[in-house]
Amino acid sequence: MRARDIQMAGVADVRRRVLMISGAIDTTEHDISVSVNLPEPGRWQVIKSETNLTDKTWVAMQVVTDEDSTFVNDADTLVLSRQFSKSFMTPDQRRLTFYDGEVRPGEAVLKVYSLDAGGRKPTYSYSRYSPIATDTAEQSRQTLDELIGNGMKQRPVIELIVPVTVIG
């Protein structure tokens, strides 16, 4: 796996405090660690889209922040995905899992959440879960329930620095 096989780019709208990132993923064996250069620390709404270029269907996606950042969890903040109907955030607000849906090969996933970035260079990692072909539906559901509650095991990581264009 080469880092150039994963393409991502971002735009930060300073006036609206929105960070938009889009790209494509073509690995199922690695987690992705994403670093972005923000114009300033603080609260940013993240709108992220990525295309599944693998041959597997993703049924859950997990995002974990670095030690200086947390997800925002209040009544005024959107946490949603077009492809996943449910989300789970840990009490420390450092892990967010989207589930109860799917992203098939060739499809894009859209996620929206807010991040309180303690610095200008937040890093977060994300993982995808695809059921094992030989598992029964019940085994896959049990595995998914465990992953939601306990988090996904970290796999080898590909580090990616996402270029961010600043507007506004």
The DSSP string of the chain is --GGGSEEEEEEETTTTEEEEEEEE--SS-EEEEEE--SS-EEEEEEEEEEE-SSS-EEEEEEEE-TTEEE--STTS--EESSEEEEEE-TTS-EEEEEEEEE-TT-EEEEEEEEEESSSS-EEEEEEE---TTS-HHHHHHHHHHHHHH-PPP--EEEEEEPEEEE-
Q: 125 is in which domain, residue-wise? A: 3-166
**Domain total for the chain?**
1
pLDDT, tens digit (0-9, with 9 covering 90-100), for 121-163: 999 999 999 988 777 888 888 999 999 999 999 899 999 999 9
74-118 per-position pLDDT tens digit? 999 999 999 999 999 999 999 999 999 999 999 999 999 999 999
